[in-house]
Chain A
Amino acid sequence: MATPERGASSQAPAKSLGGLLDRPEWLGPLMIGPAVLFIVLVVGIPFLLALYYSVSDISMGDRTMRFVGLKNFIAVAGTSNFQTSIVNTFVFAIVSQILVIVFGTALALALLREFRGKWFIRFLLLLPWVAPISLGTIGWLWIFDSTYSVLNWALEALGLITPQGWYMWLGIPYLAMGSVIAVHVWRILPLATVILLAGLSSIPQDIHDAALVDGAGYWRHLTQITVPLIRPIMLVAGLFGLVFAFTDMIVIFVLTRGGPYDTTQVLSTLAFFTGIQGGDIAEGAAIALFLFPMLLAVAIGFLRVARRAEVV
């Protein structure tokens, strides 16, 4: 029989290269190394540079850099448009996230039922998330258009406003903030719904049946069984959404460019207008870095959820 020799020959390479590919302590770093290296190069280094720029006097034209300490931060923090931006960032992020979680949960609960055409409905519901956001927002720009807004036309047709009373959706401070929040909710809602729906579907039917047998009514069932069970998933969806809301500038950039009178200006747009369009790299970097504490808070929240979820 030929096997013994074959067996012997297959053992030889195990000691050289094959051996390396067998041992987890070598194989692991070997497989993950390139990805980590890449991330360090394109995320880590720019991040450190951002830190460095923020304490220097770099600008677009001038390539020399001097250390200026916290001067940029202090200068930035003193300006009124920065202070408005901070407040706006929080209002924008928190209001939109609360709406997203509430709407997303309601929608996910409704979608748990089976009905005909669910596939198509889900496709329509997912559209805002999948479509390139800058383009979807352009659609809204046309909907909110000051002269031809379909919203105004509809309100007038319903007799709620007069032809003279048409709203400037993006031109009046509170309306503008409401509009950008609405569009952001529109964009994030599909993702939150899909994630929450997955959480809801993962609850075993037995638990729902047990609650039914135990005599829980609709609200008790919802608040004491369903919502607590999907809370970790809810938190993941919420934190994810918060990051988007804190850092995303596309909706505001396209709809209002921060206006009117900076009432929708947030940190990310301000950093863009200052650092890239205004050419003041150092101040732009300093503004962007104010986002970092918030992201850190979100990251810590995320880690805690992840740890708690592991216990389950």
Chain B
Amino acid sequence: MAAEGTAKGRAGRAGSYGIIALFTIFSAFPFYWMLITTFKSTPDLLKRGNNPFLLNEPPTLEHLKVLFHDTLFGQWIWNTLFVGVLVVAITLLLAVPAGYALARVMGRTGEHLGIGIFLTYLVPPTLLFIPMSRIIGDLGLQDSLWSLVLVYPSFTIPFSTWLLMGFFKAIPKDLEEAAMIDGLSRFGAFVKVVIPISVAGILTTVIFTLTLVMQEFVYAITFITAVRNMTVSVGVPTFLVHGDVYFWGSLMAGCFISSVPVALLYNFFVDRFVTGFTMGAVKG
């Protein structure tokens, strides 16, 4: 940029870095807070005079011990993964062909239907959880992880279909047509050419489906009451907060451990995610 060397340019750069610094602190501070709380001894936590930003006493692993031994945290993680993997499988099975059909096979109708499917993603759990809890009850699934496996695809499928539609639209049509001329059927071209090319997009969809499952709270708290069957996002806040005594150290440890690894994974895919998301939204 021409203005880089001037006083104005320097001011602009300082302004940008200022904004970035401010918001980075805003975003990351709670996680720093979780981390430092995890290793603080309880007396240190509860003394008002101590500088809360620092470790005033030697770090302790006590809170982690409590989290893994005295709570079902490990079980919750396992439950979350169990639901996550099954939901991802169901979602891919239904959303991959659907996304392709919308992007390529159905033309104009596909575009309208695509927007229609995306709109169902906007129908929130808050609108549906009351009748859904009845249905789950009638199916005899309350307190069972299978209830979540059944219900979660209701939002992961619309979302993934939309995302995948964006990815499929970005694949040159020529490739499928070449495959059809080279001897495959339309469906064959989809299986043998389109899917292998879209591996990165499909992987992105998997990651995002997983995070949606990890985030979900409303259905999980409505359907699951047995502590053994809770997922992480419900188990930590309900079980560890219940009662008047807050186990802040263990609580923060649980929050930190279940947040940061997923976030790391997510960061690798976020660019592709945004491409798919906006491609579906903007390209007709």
Contacts and interface: CB of A to CB of B under 8 A. Distances in A.
A124 B27 contact: yes
Interface size class of chain B, counting residues whose CB lies under 8 Å from the partner chain: 35 or more
A306 B28 contact: no
Given A142-B252, A303-B115, A110 B131 contact: no
B135 A43 contact: no
Interface stretch (B55-63, B64-72, B147-155, B197-205): B147-155
Q: Is the interface of B mostly helix, strand, loop or mixed?
A: helix
A134 B237 contact: yes
B278 A110 contact: no
B33 interface: yes
Interface string B212-233: 0011011000100000000011
A55 interface: no
A36 interface: yes
A33 to B, nearest CB: 8
Nearest to B279: A198
Contacts of B2: 212
Contact of B122 (A29, A34, A243): A243
A176 interface: no
A195 B122 contact: no
A39 B52 CA distance: 49
A109 interface: yes
Interface stretch (A74-82, A90-98, A167-175, A284-292): A284-292
28 contacts: A22-B185, A27-B105, A29-B101, A31-B98, A32-B106, A35-B97, A35-B98, A38-B153, A42-B151, A46-B131, A47-B123, A49-B135, A53-B130, A107-B19, A121-B20, A127-B260, A132-B214, A132-B259, A143-B33, A150-B33, A150-B52, A153-B51, A194-B274, A198-B274, A198-B278, A218-B8, A232-B282, A303-B119
Contact of B236 (A21, A46, A111, A134): A134
B259 A47 contact: no
Q: Name, among A18, A138, A194, A246, the residue most crowded by chain B CB atoms within 10 Å (CB to CB).
A: A138
B86 interface: no
Interface string B1-35: 11000001000110111011001101111110110
Contacts of B124: 243, 246-248, 268, 291, 295
Interface string A278-312: 00010011001101100100110011011001101
Contacts of B275: 198
A102 to B, nearest CB: 11
B187 interface: yes
B134 A49 contact: yes
Contact of A122 (B8, B13, B34, B267): B267
A136 interface: yes
